[in-house]
Structure 1
């Protein structure tokens, strides 16, 4: 059944859309042998700024780690400012990264660094672009460490709000304490901090795992405003052993409160929540489940996407199933601002056509109004053990993607692609916008391959009953407030206009 769903998605693809992802500039390559360049990547909102991490970079000391930020000049990626290096040996700086929307704030964890007490906890530094270089924004945010000097891995994953003033930090190896005072090894935790104008202040209490080896905080994702938070616990065993779990929280002004029930993995060893990504409004959630067990019911990995209906998380479309056993589909996921495009990494996938083992691959899917449809060709690594897609990100406007390949060559690399030519197959060349479904009942999608603009819906009397902003890409609008009838959707941009008769059933 799982394979059948995957085949249905592939077979339906040519009927819906096509897209061509072309590399944007040259590879961003590592500086020294063995630095694992591309282990972490991040993009700003419009895909013009990229952050690339190299956690094994060893200058000035062994494995201090490195983060570099690049800006697209129109033809190439040029480094913006100095290298951001770790502060101590084996601190692994740059193993996770997060950029603000404007690309002027970046969070750089050093997940195995010692805190100020000398405990191996991990910490996070946030930097801001001052026009000429990167300056640290506030003090270092430290983890606490564990008993017996076991690592907390505070900063295993990080996520910034759009403005860079709220940050979520995961520490999945933190030891918690149960109600009887017993230690829960690797139960994990997550924290959120907000910038006060002068310092980082914790927002609410720690979000903590409830069982040993849960690894809460393995993945974190914030909404644009920093008020919704998704936290992954890939080893959580509530339904099946290591099926995984994702919890979503909302900030009510004083506390983090649950937004719906936890979303649990289904099968043993699924590791759901290894990766998570929220849409800008926090109402759409992508969850990666890269775990698998050979010769078992769970022999393929997958990604599931959910929408918040006001009370519950409801799955949107079918599971996106990895085509090959053990390919780790969903090891990384990243969602666009509108929640209609997602990039998925499968770093252990073999390139079966070119016979390259563990080349790794990334897939891009878009919502077509009824299901998730792959757009464009698979983007594979080019060498054995490249692990392309171990980390991947998409810009909020869905125009740009970045894929890290820490195993490429001797140094590793990141590649960046843009999609500026996708169109609906049924759209004539001279039409600037498309709209579907039509007739409609609950929502409409306005497709704009290149342009932004506005839309107004008027009734048969010419009265405006709805308006919205259109960005380049897929734009989904809820029209349930409209009464059944015939309307005109007027779509306008500086390059052209279009009027479409719209039937609300």
Structure 2
């Protein structure tokens, strides 16, 4: 498929290690490349264009001379590549390191810090394996100067590479237990021991399979109002401490911690009747008519000014969740003048002709005058021992003024007849 993908220069050893996440992508290690110093090494990634192998991004160069970067390479998907540099001295002589890179769309960008060897001459990173973009197994040649070797596994926690479980160690001096490593999933590791005598003779070799048994994880959830978790409990508020124990694929306990966020939406409203203001900011708003909870067309701003007396609420949507305020009464629409101790309510407004006036208390005598928009008197009525006189507005549709007098008090209201 295509022509040879050749090394760039003499002694590069291009192809010393390779990894293919699919049939159209390949990562190639060249630990002898001198691009950043003698034997600094590099890795190149190529993709199949349909007719040729084309390099994806620049060379991923070793850090310094004799790093031998690219001695190992593992590519779990087309946008992630792990590179081992067993000769790196960044944290001590020949401690080695592993670097994980992620494709940004334009270039290879390192994901997290270097995973350094623990001690001098560890040669960490001579063999690596990545089952997914967030897990990597790393071979370390030495263990306390005894050359028993070990493998450790690292997991990405969102900001750093954290060791997962304990080291898997060789048994005796020069066992070199980790000459080869393969990780098919995030909790299973196969380790080759080619120099182990295993009871069948010198360097008969063996392979051991390890499962990361007891595991732990976090279930990160954002929900609205409430959430029923795997433990059967329904939570109505954020919770970051609940745990549950499951059985993982290895048959061992896996402790899961809940990280549940249920957003709290501020649905309080400031009432400067007839204007209502939702307290929440940076949200979506929809004002509702509480008489039937119907949407008020066009009322989708934080501030709402009522044009008729009634009861109103606002539905606030924030971070994908919605909540509704309590209903708030607006009863002073059309009040132009008022001497009464309480606010007289006139309803319905607008009306079709018949109106009810709701006064704060019962009055012995109430006089009600209806005038048109020109101030001409249309009707005059007197009501005895009442706090809810009912009147008729005669005449065509338009604006009318209701003049109410009772007990040396007066209110002058505006109404609309439809």
Q: How does the TM-score come out when normalised to structure 1? A: 0.43
Larger radius of gyration: 2
Provide the C-alpha distance between the structure 1 equivalents of 2:146 and 2:53, rounded to a whole number of angstroms. Answer: 44
The answer to whether the Cα contact below 8 Å between 1:332 and 1:345 also exists between their aligned partners in 2 is yes
Contiguous gaps of at least 5 residues in structure 2: 219-239, 247-255, 263-282, 286-316, 322-418
1:24-35 aligned at under 5 Å gives the runs: none
2:12 maps to which residue? Answer: 214
2:162 to 339, 359, 373: 373
Secondary structure at the aligned position of 2:243 is classed as coil
Provide the C-alpha distance between the structure 2 equivalents of 1:342 and 1:226, rounded to a whole number of angstroms. Answer: 22
Cα displacement (A) at 1:421: 2.5
CA displacement, residues 91-135 of structure 1 (integer Å, 9 cap, x when unaligned): xxxxxxxxxxxxxxxxxxxxxxxxxxxxxxxxxxxxxxxxxxxxx
Provide the C-alpha distance between the structure 2 equivalents of 1:369 and 1:266, rounded to a whole number of angstroms. Answer: 24
The answer to whether the Cα contact below 8 Å between 2:92 and 2:119 also exists between their aligned partners in 1 is no
CA displacement, residues 16-40 of structure 1 (integer Å, 9 cap, x when unaligned): xxxxxxxxxxxxxxxxxxxxxxxxx
Q: How does the TM-score come out when normalised to structure 2? A: 0.52
Quick check: 1:226 aligned with 2:23? yes
The answer to whether the Cα contact below 8 Å between 2:135 and 2:186 also exists between their aligned partners in 1 is yes
Provide the C-alpha distance between the structure 1 equivalents of 2:207 and 2:318, rounded to a whole number of angstroms. Answer: 50
Provide the C-alpha distance between the structure 1 equivalents of 2:177 and 2:45, rounded to a whole number of angstroms. Answer: 29
Quick check: 1:486 aligned with 2:329? no
Contiguous gaps of at least 5 residues in structure 1: 1-202, 440-458, 462-483, 489-505
2:136 maps to which residue? Answer: 342
1:429 to 236, 239, 243: 243
1:291 to 76, 82, 87: 87
2:209 maps to which residue? Answer: 416
Structure number having the greater strand percentage: 2
Structure having greater relative contact order (Cα 8 Å, sep ≥ 6): 1
Quick check: 1:328 aligned with 2:138? no
1:338-487 aligned at under 5 Å gives the runs: 339-347=133-141, 349-350=142-143, 352=144, 357-395=146-184, 397-409=185-197, 410=202, 411-424=204-217, 428-430=242-244, 486-487=319-320
1:446 maps to which residue? Answer: none
Compute the RMSD of aligned alpha carbons.
Answer: 2.9
The answer to whether the Cα contact below 8 Å between 1:460 and 1:487 also exists between their aligned partners in 2 is no
The answer to whether the Cα contact below 8 Å between 1:250 and 1:256 also exists between their aligned partners in 2 is yes
Provide the C-alpha distance between the structure 2 equivalents of 1:219 and 1:247, rounded to a whole number of angstroms. Answer: 11
1:78-89 aligned at under 5 Å gives the runs: none
Provide the C-alpha distance between the structure 1 equivalents of 2:183 and 2:97, rounded to a whole number of angstroms. Answer: 18
Provide the C-alpha distance between the structure 2 equivalents of 1:243 and 1:438, rounded to a whole number of angstroms. Answer: 47
Cα displacement (A) at 1:303: 0.3
Quick check: 1:263 aligned with 2:57? no
Q: Report how many residues are paired.
A: 235
Cα displacement (A) at 1:343: 0.5
Provide the C-alpha distance between the structure 1 equivalents of 2:209 and 2:284, rounded to a whole number of angstroms. Answer: 47
